[in-house]
Chains A and B, each alone.
Chain A
Amino acid sequence: MTGAAMPAHTYFEDVEVGAEHETPAMTVTEAHVALYRGVTGDAPAESGIAPEILVLCLATGLGWRLERPPLVVLAFMGIEWKIVRPLRVGATIRAVSRTAVKRGMREGGVVMEDHSIVDQHGDVLQQGRFSFLVARRPA
């Protein structure tokens, strides 16, 4: 992305290691599973269970609803992820995250966040680490 300044965004300089965030919650429905299956061709392993990657996709969408200004992500670099337990359709998920690592590069910087997706009982469904390339604040 070039230097066109976007208002109210979180740039690399604004990221604080140790900062914690919790997203709003959402209920995962059969409609999500059907839409996901239609778009991606990826199907649930068994009826009534949400495809694992759908749960991950919904959780990243929840991340965009945080109260902090959105992170200026130049590139999603990678994921290291564990699926701890399946999600039954009808469960309500939210994501909690903590900024773990921040490393400056010539073009922007790498930010690593530890994320957990939890259900309405507080049980962890999935967890792991995301790595992003984040823009520096335009001079």
Chain B
Amino acid sequence: MTGPARRYFEEIEIGEEYVSPGRTVTEADIVLFAGLSGDYNVIHTDAEFMKTSIFGERIAHGLLGLAIQSGLLTRAMPPYATIAFTGLKWKFRTPIKIGDTIHVRGKVIGKVESPEPDRGVITLARTVLNQRGEVVQEGETDLVVERRPTA
């Protein structure tokens, strides 16, 4: 997985920002995600019960939002020479409901050389927003990225 398009640690700058395309989260997404994950909690699957809840309807799994933002931001970023995704700090602020359209903003906020000479850690702040501009989820991810090989 080497190629000219993959960016090394040295080439990524603090303060770089990325904005993803939007994506509308549908009932089908929630049903498929319940089937995949095995999380059939009533808050995601029982429309009648949820009519009586403070949300008034089913809500998306928090982890579905986390996974969708990961896919969305990948589409908006020039690829890094990533070795590993190693850390996540995440807050679920407000539910994603069926029909909401979300997008994610990413910003490079940390860049630390690792003890190993061939790599470093990039920290990305991520904010997931809905169609009203409300923050639905936010947090930070740590990626271990290759340094430019020395000839």
Contacts and interface: CB of A to CB of B under 8 A. Distances in A.
Contacts of B90: 78-81
Contact of A73 (B33, B43, B74): B43
A83 B86 contact: yes
Interface in B87-105: 87-92, 95
Most buried by A among B23, B42, B67: B67
B41 interface: yes
Q: How large is the interface on B (under 10, 10 to 19, 20 to 34, 35 or more residues)?
A: 35 or more
Contacts of B85: 45, 52, 83
A82 interface: yes
A57 B36 contact: yes
B38 to A, nearest CB: 3
Interface string A1-15: 110101000000000
Contacts, number: 117
Interface in A9-46: 32, 35-36, 38-43, 45-46
Interface string B5-28: 000000000000000000100000
Given A1-B43, A83-B86, A53 B38 contact: no
A41 B37 contact: no
A41 B41 contact: no
A99 interface: no
A10 to B, nearest CB: 13
A64 B41 contact: yes
Nearest to A76: B62
A78 B84 CA distance: 22
B97 to A, nearest CB: 14
Contacts of A6: 42
A68 B75 CA distance: 40
B92 A76 contact: yes
Secondary structure of the A contact surface, majority rule: mixed
Contact of B71 (A1, A41, A76, A80): A41
B54 interface: yes
B86 A36 contact: no
Contact of B87 (A1, A51, A54, A81): A81
A92 interface: no
20 contacts: A1-B52, A2-B52, A4-B52, A39-B64, A42-B68, A42-B71, A45-B85, A51-B67, A56-B66, A57-B36, A60-B37, A61-B37, A61-B38, A64-B38, A75-B92, A76-B62, A77-B92, A79-B90, A82-B86, A128-B88
Interface of A: 1-2, 4, 6, 32, 35-36, 38-43, 45-46, 51-54, 56-58, 60-62, 64-65, 70, 73, 75-83, 86, 128
